[in-house]
Copies of this chain bind each other. A is one copy, B any other.
Amino acid sequence: MKQRALSSADRLTGHFRNTAYVINESRPYFDAAHAVGLMAVQGRSTTGRTFVLGTGPLDSRPQVIDFVRCSYLGLDNHPVIVAGAIEAIEAHRSLHWSCARTRLNFDLLAQLEATLSEIFCARVIAFSSVMLANLGAMPLLASGQLTGGRKPIVVFDRTAHISLAYHKPVVADETRVETIAHNDIDALERLCRDNPVVAYVCDGVYSMGGNSPIKELRQLQERYGLFLYIDDAHGISLFGPQGQGFARSQFPQVLGDRTIIAASLAKGFGASGGMLMLGTADQEALFRRYSIPHAFSAAANLASVGAALGSCNIHRSAELGQRQRRLAQRIDLFDRRVTTAEQGNSLPIRMIAIGPEAKAIAIARELLDAGFYTSVTFFPTVGQGKAGIRVCITADHGISEIEQLCDCILKT
């Protein structure tokens, strides 16, 4: 988010956030997008990526093909996952126990964490969302408890997801915070050279397109002991024989004591909730005692747990690879028709750059009229005057659905 100039009257404020500025600048775009029916849309799923738009009797509502949801492998309505959710609730005759995870836990949740730990070859802790997984991790990172008792300077990629960037003032209350340009490996190396302990916070796959250079980050880790905290919410399940994901699949079998990967149990994974992949028993003990949502909020509910166990079965079957290949074919098909900055990167997020916010909103509305729901994106998610349309490609889209969307995009 843009930072304002600081006056002497408020020198203690405005280092990281200026919520009023963001609201005042972006409110007209939000209101316009709501007014034409592009935001806060309601629906009910049918088959594949189609949903019935709006409310009221189902047969009176139009059908729309969805390119908004991040269910990249098309798992979010998979019968095994849906059945897993229902079976877990039926077996326990409860959906949710209202207490901290430091107290009482459904035994099924321990089973899920053990299974996830096998799949991702890490010590996995589940959370009710990635946003809370990150909230729990940031103060522990700042405290130095993850870096041998020495506080690191914590370096954020400028475009790191808000679920990470939100915590900058909290981290800065305990240690030094730096923000560097997107994927600026040179700047990061300079910081590594000049400081004894450095931690880097970034996304694996960025929600607005692109990815972190994991290979280069690993080189800095080997050279300088850099600690890496990577939110791979959008990369999970898409790569690796068991869906280890974009980030985890580029690290060795043993994760080690200098890397934590956050990921979603929704999105590519197809269930609901979030998780952290930790490398050591000490880290696990630390998080199970001091991660704030672990100690003071609730676990993922049993439906999430059961759904995730269903998805684990899919991740260990041949179906996962089939879905990964179907997704790759569809990304390739899109790339052969429509040029974007992301062309050829093998990730499922494509940004159609447009520029003026009003124009992006108008084009997204035209696409919806043609039967395609996409995400119009504007400030503060992207820079001002850099509005665009985000398309999430999934393994569940029909070839002809991708082709028709591409035709529509090229026409508008």
A-to-B contact residues, CB < 8 Å: 12-20, 22-23, 27, 30, 34, 39-45, 51, 54-55, 66, 68-71, 76-77, 79, 81-82, 85-86, 89-90, 92-99, 101-110, 128-132, 135, 139-140, 142-145, 149, 151, 161-163, 166-167, 169-170, 172-176, 264, 266-267, 271-272, 286, 288-290, 292-293, 296-298, 301-304, 307, 373, 375
Contact = CB atoms under 8 A, between A and B. Distances in A.
Nearest to A15: B173
Interface of chain A: mostly helix, strand, loop or mixed = mixed
A51 to B, nearest CB: 7
A129 B298 contact: yes
Given A17-B174, A42-B107, A69-B98, 5 more contacts: A13-B175, A23-B145, A95-B271, A169-B172, A303-B303
Given A20-B143, A142-B19, A76 B92 contact: no
Q: Quickly give the copy total for this chain.
A: 2
A69 B14 contact: no
A97 B68 CA distance: 10
> What 9 pairs between A and B have smallest CB-CB spacing?
A303-B303, A19-B143, A96-B272, A98-B266, A169-B169, A131-B297, A169-B173, A20-B143, A272-B301
Which has the most chain B C-beta neighbours within 10 Å: A27, A96, A139, A142? A96
Given A23-B143, A89-B82, A107-B43, A174 B14 contact: yes
A156 B27 CA distance: 29
Given A298-B272, A307-B95, A172 B13 contact: yes
Given A19-B140, A20-B145, A86-B86, A68 B104 contact: yes
A169 B81 CA distance: 40
Contact of A17 (B19, B173, B296): B173
A6 to B, nearest CB: 11
A130 B98 CA distance: 12
A120 to B, nearest CB: 19
B95 A375 contact: no
A296 B107 contact: no
A90 B110 CA distance: 26
Nearest to A233: B98
